[in-house]
Amino acid sequence: MFDRDTEGVRIELRSLTKHYPGQPAPAVDNVTLDIPAGELVVFVGPSGCGKTTTMKMINRLVEPTSGEILIGGQDVLSLDPDQLRRHIGYAIQQVGLFPHQTIAQNIGLVPNLLGWPADRISARVDELLSLVNLEPSAFRDRYPRQLSGGQQQRVGVARALAADPPVMLMDEPFGATDPITREHLQNEFVKLQKQLRKTIIFVTHDFEEAIKLGDRIAVLREGSHIAQYDTPAAILADPADEYVASFIGQDATLKRLALMRVSEVSATGSPAGSGLPQVSADASLREALDIMIAHGADRCATPSGVLTYAALCEAVGTRAGEQEDVVSSER
């Protein structure tokens, strides 16, 4: 199959359509999309727009009415569905762990189906539990009901990664947790994906989450029509239409600042200025701005120099001359 390589492979959707019998309009209408290898693409859109249906056609939990799906150049519709699914990671919001099996059995399910030897499965389970920050010795023999919601979602991600599939489908995998746990899981996941470079399709209705996680975002409207498909920075800087803009909300510029790191902006001068507030190099520009406002300053000290308010404006493409407009419009 397409998973000789555990790093991501390209996914191509060609005129993909799903029309449920008896429904006036197709749930997914003629979607064509290329998902580059090793990228995390977020499908974002309101509930009922067909984003989940589109995703589920890729592992054929939903059979397409027409169209083509290629994973690593291979036609998915010609494969045996059960075989196919064993080679695609799948994580869902409600997690769906098997309550009668231990965490180790849950994670080892797909490797087991693929016929891995027991000691290799056991080693893999420990590796994955560590990867999602759960202590293997404490968790492998416990049952799902003994875990908190956040821990279950980590196990869900570990289970999806079990057989090291090149492609993962994730349907709001962090959706059912409280905001703090959710943010924590997202941060961990960003780090994880940096190492793994899987091709991931990630479905959410939360645009903040999309910006945070996505290499690219596909903003979908009714019938899974693509309103805009681009990088988070490009969508924030230049939304295609009103619909996309309405998703972004009123604070597009702040969201763009949140995407940039202090270390990416050239700092001027030396950080000798003693009284200046400090930011770290991997803080976001949004955090830098926050510190400036909090201290009533127009600059702050970074490890490599001084970051000015004008530099922030420049980073998002506004001129220092327009400074006052920007400030007033963002309040």
Partner 1 sequence: MNFSEYVLSRWDTLSLAATEHAVVVGIAIAIATVFGVGIGLLAYDAPKVRSTSVAISAGILTVPSLALLTLLIPIFGLGWGSTLVSLTAYAFLPIIRNTVTGLRGLDAATVEAGRGMGLSRVRLLLRVQLPLAWPLILTGVRISAQMLIGIAAIAAVVDGPGLGTQIFEGLSRLGSVNSLNATLAGTLGIVVIAILFDLFFFAVRYITTPRGLRVRP
Q: Which residues bind partner 1 (CB under 8 A)?
A: 59, 61, 82-87, 90, 92-102, 109-110, 113, 143-146, 156, 159, 169
- d(CA 17, CA 227) in angstroms, rounded, equals 17
State the minimum distance, in angstroms, from the CB of residue 127 to partner 1.
18
- Closest to partner 1 by CB, 50 vs 239, is 50
- Closest to partner 1 by CB, 94 vs 187, is 94
| Nearest of 78, 62, 75, 71 to residue 27 by alpha carbon | 62
Separation of CA 43 from chain center: 9
- d(CA 75, CA 79) in angstroms, rounded, equals 7
Q: Is 232 in contact with 217 (CB distance < 8 Å)?
A: yes
Sheet strands (E) in 58-197: 66-71, 74-75, 88-92, 167-171
State the minimum distance, in angstroms, from the CB of residue 278 to partner 1.
43
What single letter denotes the amino acid at residue 321?
G
- Closest to partner 1 by CB, 113 vs 192, is 113
DSSP string, 173-196: TTTTS-HHHHHHHHHHHHHHHHHH
- Closest to partner 1 by CB, 203 vs 276, is 203
- d(CA 45, CA 53) in angstroms, rounded, equals 12
State the minimum distance, in angstroms, from the CB of residue 133 to partner 1.
20
DSSP character for 321? G
State the minimum distance, in angstroms, from the CB of residue 96 to partner 1.
3
User: Which two tokens mark 215?
Assistant: 């290499």
- Closest to partner 1 by CB, 154 vs 299, is 154
User: Which two tokens mark 299?
Assistant: 């600059």
- Closest to partner 1 by CB, 91 vs 283, is 91
Q: Is 63 in contact with 33 (CB distance < 8 Å)?
A: no
- Closest to partner 1 by CB, 109 vs 235, is 109
State the minimum distance, in angstroms, from the CB of residue 103 to partner 1.
10
- Closest to partner 1 by CB, 100 vs 319, is 100
State the minimum distance, in angstroms, from the CB of residue 119 to partner 1.
21
Own/partner long-range contacts of 245-249 (Cβ < 8 Å, ≥24 apart): 247/44, 247/207, 247/219, 248/207, 249/207
State the minimum distance, in angstroms, from the CB of residue 144 to partner 1.
7
User: Which two tokens mark 144?
Assistant: 């799902």
Report helix angle 252-259 to 285-295, nearest 10: 110
Q: Is 217 in contact with 210 (CB distance < 8 Å)?
A: yes
State the minimum distance, in angstroms, from the CB of residue 151 to partner 1.
11
| Nearest of 33, 46, 67, 57 to residue 222 by alpha carbon | 46
- d(CA 20, CA 152) in angstroms, rounded, equals 33
State the minimum distance, in angstroms, from the CB of residue 3 to partner 1.
12
- Closest to partner 1 by CB, 177 vs 228, is 177
